[in-house]
Amino acid sequence: MSSIPPQPPVKRGRRKQARPGELLEAALDLFVEKGYAATRVEEVAARAGVSKGTLFLYFPSKEELFKAVVRENISGRFGEWEQTLASFTGTCSEMIEYAFSAWWERIGSTKANGLGKLMVSEANNFPEIAQFYRTEVVLPGQELIRRIFRRGIESGEFRDIDLEYAIYLVQAPLMQLDLMNSSRVICVVNPDNFDPHKYLKMHADNLLAGLRPRAA
Amino acid sequence: MSSIPPQPPVKRGRRKQARPGELLEAALDLFVEKGYAATRVEEVAARAGVSKGTLFLYFPSKEELFKAVVRENISGRFGEWEQTLASFTGTCSEMIEYAFSAWWERIGSTKANGLGKLMVSEANNFPEIAQFYRTEVVLPGQELIRRIFRRGIESGEFRDIDLEYAIYLVQAPLMQLDLMNSSRVICVVNPDNFDPHKYLKMHADNLLAGLRPRAA
Amino acid sequence: MSSIPPQPPVKRGRRKQARPGELLEAALDLFVEKGYAATRVEEVAARAGVSKGTLFLYFPSKEELFKAVVRENISGRFGEWEQTLASFTGTCSEMIEYAFSAWWERIGSTKANGLGKLMVSEANNFPEIAQFYRTEVVLPGQELIRRIFRRGIESGEFRDIDLEYAIYLVQAPLMQLDLMNSSRVICVVNPDNFDPHKYLKMHADNLLAGLRPRAA
Amino acid sequence: MSSIPPQPPVKRGRRKQARPGELLEAALDLFVEKGYAATRVEEVAARAGVSKGTLFLYFPSKEELFKAVVRENISGRFGEWEQTLASFTGTCSEMIEYAFSAWWERIGSTKANGLGKLMVSEANNFPEIAQFYRTEVVLPGQELIRRIFRRGIESGEFRDIDLEYAIYLVQAPLMQLDLMNSSRVICVVNPDNFDPHKYLKMHADNLLAGLRPRAA
DNA sequence: TATGAATGAGAGTTCATTCAT
DNA sequence: AATGAATGAACTCTCATTCAT
């Protein structure tokens, strides 16, 4: 419609408009790293390069900041993802493998990783936001998996399994990887020499082998 | 309407022996439910039926209380378990299945469930405890799994897999189940109608199918 | 009147009758050493070899314990002392010297030393007991000194000085010595090699020299 | 009778520069008056006209506040004094008299008076501070006195005395005066009619008379 | 808008005091 | 009389939140 006006050269790289975003980014880092309670708003503000007072200009309370962080980082990535899978041409096994690597690229290896841990930790303190996470992340994710499985079963590529429990075959390794990245020291055998790709490959591989139709 | 009967004076119980246990139980519940920071010592004391001051008679600080909870609920559960598996006669597949159900009976379905979540949540705030948990729980558990796998591979019952990553094939579902029980609302499709046994059966079943030697 | 019944052999050296005394003794030690607030009643009880509850059987509160300690340790030593001085035959200088050494023997070198410091420290928190100390110790002591000085002046042995201020010429060194013994590290040049007798000799000597009548 | 005028909203002052000083002043007053333990930080804050939290903006703990009070009121008062005495021209007797009156002007009659009592009272609870006070105040003060005495002895103005004990001839009256001002009720005969100048004059006078060389 | 000094409710901890045994 | 487990008020210290500038 209208022609795009020439963008003014970005001065200083920190415009006022960027403030909330910088705060959210800093908050995400700290919430994931230290948990909700142990994160002090002053620290968030400091990391975003503003004063404590300024933070409260954008977010009315620590609680709202937290909710905003969660919302910001899980917003509608699934629509796009679903589309990709819908138009995917290939076997269901390839779809599963693709889903694993896509998860890693879009979630596991990004800032969004650790959100799972955060939700697990804080779900009881923030039921509302937990519900939001469930609706926006968990259920759509599970639906994605369910659809792939259903297709695989119908096409005879996978054996006939209880869909509602099969979901967790995919979810469990991804969730564990989320937690591992947050507190590697707890779960990982050799924290300094852990390769997430190998981890995912192993899981996908064994999962798919197990899913093959069995001889009577 | 009816007059309130005179409250009998609060009995000052005298149960030095029983107190620590009651406090630890209350603390476990609350720590698992609300996290470390959100749990107030006064609340723990109240749930154990004593006053705030009494708690400090038995535990010198909130942190020591937390440590005691972890120790109480973890130590000594592993030795026994290792013995059982060491003297187990049967196929490796049966051992894996046994391990799953034994975990459920001794950990997953007990108060000790949720401790995994607790550790994941608080590991960064209590490196010392996290290290303790890693040494006393995670690593021994992994060694147990490793041993079974090694035996299965050597006997030809399992295909040849990378042991160091295979471990997680067992660990991931158990950890997820620990988390699920703590914040079921987040991960589970239908929280009111979830059967842990089916969950574990599905996982064990698919895992073992995937582990079978493959045709060249 | 009645014949004294044969004393039963003292068993165990700790009769019930001794309790209050032992508590007072322990309390004196601790109050002097650590001050009122920093002394815990449990510690007092422990040092007296009884339980905390027992202490409260004899003294209704920490405050009353404190008052009892002070009262106990300053009770009527002055009557006896006054008598001694009244019947003293010798010069006033000798009386002053005697007073110094008597103070050392009866107060300075005994448990009662440190009470001065205690009163100085706590006077504002215990006005009532401070008043008591003033009445029972400070004023009688000053009166003693005043009487000696007056006699010395009248007899021409001392020069004519303002009695009301002269008093402090005697009081100051004794008070300093009381404080020194309590917190030697603060005031004393060489704490490990300090001789109270030399200290007192020096003060008495110079004081008396200064008191001699002066040539016009 | 008359209506209460509406209270103006509490002014939130903004005087970062002035705060520490005001807090230190309030703290000095209260510590001297009531002792360390009996002084509540909230009270200090209130006397300085700020809230409890504000105090902790400037001093990280009660202990550090205490230390700061001692440092604030001691440091830097001695250097100047030493200079003055070094360049003093006059007899040693005049120097002693000058020292007495200088002490009164710079310490005894100021806020710094009472610090001696404070140190005596709390020395056992704060060995570190006591050491500091000893090093920074007591020992330099004693050295000052020692130097005057040595000079007086060498010039024949004073008789030959043991320097190490003579020091206390000067220190004792000053210390007593410090204590008197803090808890006058204890030591002083007639608290409402006490003249520190007369007190000091009396002491200086008698001290110097006593120091005069004696006939063989 | 942005600041940061100031606030005050709330948490962990101590310890004089109580009271069932 | 004696005990010591239990209490709870009081204290120090923290930190989310406010508000004058």
Using H for helix, E for strand and C for coil, what is the string for chain A?
Answer: CCCCCCCCCCCCCCCHHHHHHHHHHHHHHHHHHHCCCCCCHHHHHHHCCCCHHHHHHHCCCHHHHHHHHHHHHHCCCHHHHHHHHHCCCCCHHHHHHHHHHHHHHHHHCCCCCCHHHHHHHHCCCCHHHHHHHHHHHHHHHHHHHHHHHHHHHHCCCCCCCCHHHHHHHHHHHHHHHHHHHHCHHHHCCCHHHCCHHHHHHHHHHHHHHHHCCCCC
Read off the pLDDT of each residue in C119-131 and give the average, rounded to a whole number: 90
Question: D203 with D100: CB under 8 angstroms?
Answer: yes
Backbone angles phi, psi at D147, to 5 degrees: -65, -45
What does each C-alpha distance from C135 to C102, C127, D187 come to in angstroms? 20, 12, 10
Tokens representing C127 are 């006005």
Q: Is it the case that chain B and chain D have 3 or more CB pairs lying under 8 Å apart?
A: no
* Distance separating the N- and C-terminal Cα atoms of chain B: 85
Model confidence at B8: pLDDT above 60 = no
Q: Is D185 close to C131, i.e. CB distance below 8 A?
A: yes
What does each C-alpha distance from C173 to A25, C84, C204, D122 come to in angstroms? 70, 22, 9, 21
If we measure between CA atoms, which residue out of B60, B32, B63 comes closest to residue B47?
B32
CB burial readout D32-50, b (16+ within 10 A) else e: bbbbbbbbebeebbeebeb
Confidence band for C47, pLDDT divided at 50, 70 and 90: very high
Compute the mean pLDDT over every residue in chain D, rounded to the nearest whole number.
Answer: 87
If we measure between CA atoms, which residue out of C146, C165, C161 comes closest to residue C82?
C146
Protein CA D49 to sugar C1' E6 (Å): 11
Tokens representing B195 are 């059967």
Protein CA A56 to sugar C1' F18 (Å): 10
Compute the mean pLDDT over every residue in chain A, rounded to the nearest whole number.
Answer: 86
Question: D102 with D77: CB under 8 angstroms?
Answer: no
Please list every residue in chain D whose beta carbon sits closer than 8 Å to the beta carbon of residue C190. Answer: 164
B40 closest-nt by C1' vs CA: E11
Q: How high is the pLDDT of residue B85?
A: 78
Secondary-structure breakdown of chain C: helix, strand, coil percentages, each rounded to the nearest 5: 70, 0, 30
- Please name the residue whose C-alpha is nearest to the C1' of nucleotide E21: B14
CB-closest option in D122, D124, D186 to C119: D186
Q: How high is the pLDDT of residue B15?
A: 64
Q: Is it the case that chain C and chain B have 3 or more CB pairs lying under 8 Å apart?
A: no
Protein CA B15 to sugar C1' E20 (Å): 12
Tokens representing C162 are 């303002």
CB-closest option in B122, B172, B208 to A172: B172
Nucleotides of strand E under 7 angstroms from a protein beta carbon: 1-21
Structure-model confidence comparison of residues C17 and D190, the more confident one: D190
CA distance C187 to chain D (A): 6
- Residue B71: is it exposed, middle or buried by C-beta count within 10 angstroms (0-12/13-18/19+)? middle
If we measure between CA atoms, which residue out of B92, B89, B91, B14 comes closest to residue B54?
B14
Please list every residue in chain B whose beta carbon sits closer than 8 Å to the beta carbon of residue A38. Answer: 37, 124-125
Nucleotides of strand F under 7 angstroms from a protein beta carbon: 1-21
Percent of chain D with pLDDT over 70: 89
**C-alpha span between C206 and C197 (Å, rounded):** 14
Name the E strands within chain C.
Answer: none
The half-sphere exposure of C93 on its side-chain side, counting CA atoms within 13 A, is 16
B15 closest-nt by C1' vs CA: F5
If we measure between CA atoms, which residue out of C185, C70, C52 comes closest to residue C136?
C70
Tokens representing B55 are 């708690």
Tokens representing B88 are 């187990």
Q: Which 15-54 residues of chain A touch chain B by CB within 8 A?
A: 33-38
Question: D173 with D203: CB under 8 angstroms?
Answer: yes
CA dihedral of B81, B87, B92, B97, whole degrees rounded to 10: -40
Residues 6 or more apart in contact with residue A63 via CB below 8 angstroms: A126
Model confidence at D152: pLDDT above 90 = yes
**C-alpha span between C178 and C184 (Å, rounded):** 10
**C-alpha span between D86 and D69 (Å, rounded):** 29
**C-alpha span between C25 and C28 (Å, rounded):** 5
Protein CA B43 to sugar C1' F14 (Å): 19
CA dihedral of D188, D193, D195, D199, whole degrees rounded to 10: -40
Question: A104 with A197: CB under 8 angstroms?
Answer: yes
Mutual angle of helices B62-74 and B115-122, in 10-degree steps: 140
Read off the pLDDT of each residue in D176-194 and give the average, rounded to a whole number: 81
Work out if C52's Cβ lies within 7 angstroms of strand F: yes
Read off the pLDDT of each residue in C26-32 and give the average, rounded to a whole number: 94
Read off the pLDDT of each residue in A165-169 and give the average, rounded to a whole number: 96
Q: How high is the pLDDT of residue D24?
A: 95
Protein CA C108 to sugar C1' F3 (Å): 38
Q: What Rg do the C-alpha atoms of chain B give, in angstroms?
A: 21
Contacts by residues B22-27 (CB-CB < 8 Å, ≥ 24 positions apart): B22/B48, B22/B49, B22/B50, B23/B48, B23/B50, B23/B55, B23/B58, B23/B59, B23/B65, B24/B65, B24/B68, B24/B69, B24/B72, B24/B73, B25/B111, B27/B65, B27/B66, B27/B68, B27/B69
Work out if D41's Cβ lies within 7 angstroms of strand F: yes
Residues 6 or more apart in contact with residue B10 via CB below 8 angstroms: none
Compute the mean pLDDT over every residue in chain B, rounded to the nearest whole number.
Answer: 87
Q: How high is the pLDDT of residue A75?
A: 63
CA C62 to chain centre: 22
The 10 Å Cβ neighbour count of residue B105 is 10
Q: Is it the case that chain C and chain A have 3 or more CB pairs lying under 8 Å apart?
A: no
**C-alpha span between C170 and A155 (Å, rounded):** 111
Q: How high is the pLDDT of residue A186?
A: 75
Q: Is A165 close to B202, i.e. CB distance below 8 A?
A: yes
Work out if D60's Cβ lies within 7 angstroms of strand F: yes
Q: Which 57-116 residues of chain C touch chain D by CB within 8 A?
A: none
Tokens representing C11 are 């068993």
Q: How high is the pLDDT of residue A39?
A: 96
D48 closest-nt by C1' vs CA: E6
- Residue C149: is it exposed, middle or buried by C-beta count within 10 angstroms (0-12/13-18/19+)? buried
Q: How high is the pLDDT of residue D186?
A: 75
**C-alpha span between C210 and C200 (Å, rounded):** 15
Model confidence at C51: pLDDT above 60 = yes
- Please name the residue whose C-alpha is nearest to the C1' of nucleotide E18: C53
Q: Is A172 close to B175, i.e. CB distance below 8 A?
A: yes
* Chain D nearest-CA residue for C187: D138
Confidence band for D189, pLDDT divided at 50, 70 and 90: confident
**C-alpha span between B96 and C1 (Å, rounded):** 96
Percent of chain B with pLDDT over 90: 55
Report the neighbours of B using a cutoff of 3 or more CB pairs below 8 angstroms.
A
Confidence band for A192, pLDDT divided at 50, 70 and 90: confident
Amino acid code (one letter) for D199: Y
Protein CA D43 to sugar C1' E8 (Å): 15
- Please name the residue whose C-alpha is nearest to the C1' of nucleotide F10: D40
Question: C210 with D209: CB under 8 angstroms?
Answer: yes
Read off the pLDDT of each residue in B47-65 and give the average, rounded to a whole number: 96
Q: How high is the pLDDT of residue C72?
A: 86
What does each C-alpha distance from B45 to A125, B12, B20, B23, B51 come to in angstroms? 20, 14, 11, 7, 6
Work out if D16's Cβ lies within 7 angstroms of strand F: no
Please give the helix or strand (H or E) that residue B186 lies within, else none.
helix B184-187
Read off the pLDDT of each residue in C34-48 and give the average, rounded to a whole number: 96
**C-alpha span between A97 and D186 (Å, rounded):** 89
When scoring B165, B184, B195, B212 by the number of chain A Cβ atoms within 10 A, the one with the most, hence best to mutate, is B165
Q: Is B187 close to A206, i.e. CB distance below 8 A?
A: no
Express each pLDDT in D12-63 by its tens digit. Answer: 566 666 678 999 999 999 999 999 999 999 999 999 999 999 999 999 999 9
Percent of chain C with pLDDT over 70: 89
Express each pLDDT in A18-74 by its tens digit. Answer: 678 999 999 999 998 899 999 999 999 999 999 999 999 999 999 999 999 988 887
Global pTM value: 0.87
Q: What Rg do the C-alpha atoms of chain D give, in angstroms?
A: 21
**C-alpha span between D212 and C80 (Å, rounded):** 37
Confidence band for B199, pLDDT divided at 50, 70 and 90: very high
Q: Which 140-199 residues of chain A touch chain B by CB within 8 A?
A: 142, 161-162, 164-169, 171-173, 175-176, 179, 182-183, 185-187, 189-190, 198-199
CB contact A209 to B (< 8 Å): yes
CA distance B180 to chain A (A): 9
CA distance B172 to chain A (A): 6
- Please name the residue whose C-alpha is nearest to the C1' of nucleotide E2: A54
Protein CA B42 to sugar C1' E11 (Å): 10
CB contact B123 to A (< 8 Å): yes
**C-alpha span between A181 and A110 (Å, rounded):** 11
Question: C8 with C37: CB under 8 angstroms?
Answer: no
Confidence band for B14, pLDDT divided at 50, 70 and 90: low
* Chain D nearest-CA residue for C125: D34
